[in-house]
Amino acid sequence: MVSLAIRFVVLGVFITCAITCFIIGCAIPNEWIPLLVLIPAAFGVFCFWGLMRTLDDSYDGHFIQANGWTFMLVSCVMFAVMVPVALFRCNSIGGLTLGLHIAGDVIVAAGTGIFMKLNSDNGYSEITPF
């Protein structure tokens, strides 16, 4: 069993690498508009925490059910992926910025998947993607 600290360190390393990709993708061509994806990304972390908390049976009196958390989480992920694509299609950003943003999104997805796999020993196996 993996300790809680190691799980969050792994998640933090992946998120740090993703944010670095986002910032480098904006800094090299000096296009700062795509950094708006960090707002739904931060809210997505809150939605992920809420989903995990809702699926845990020790917490009663859920204000938002698991389906609501899942909807908000998917909305945040779609916003984080589709805003750079839409900006690229409008010729507002270049291909380098788009590529680094998509790479950052893939890094976040991989880190979240590994975090969920490490949590599968603790009863979260019903939502584990691997």
The pLDDT, as a whole number, for residue 121 is 63
Task: Kindly tell me if the per-residue pLDDT of 99 is higher than 90.
Answer: yes
Question: Can you tell me the distance from the alpha carbon of 66 to that of 73, in angstroms, rounded to the nearest whole number?
Answer: 10
Tokens linked to 52: 């995990």
Asked whether the predicted pLDDT for residue 63 surpasses 80, the reply is no
Give the pLDDT mean for 34-56: 81
CB neighbours of residue 101 within 10 Å = 26
Beta carbons within 8 Å of 25's beta carbon, 6+ residues apart: 34, 96, 97, 98, 99, 100, 101, 104
Residue-level pLDDT at 130 = 44
- DSSP calls for 34-45: GGGGHHHHHHHH
Express as a percent the part of the chain with pLDDT over 90: 26
Q: What is the pLDDT of residues 12-31, one digit of tens each?
A: 899 899 999 999 998 998 88
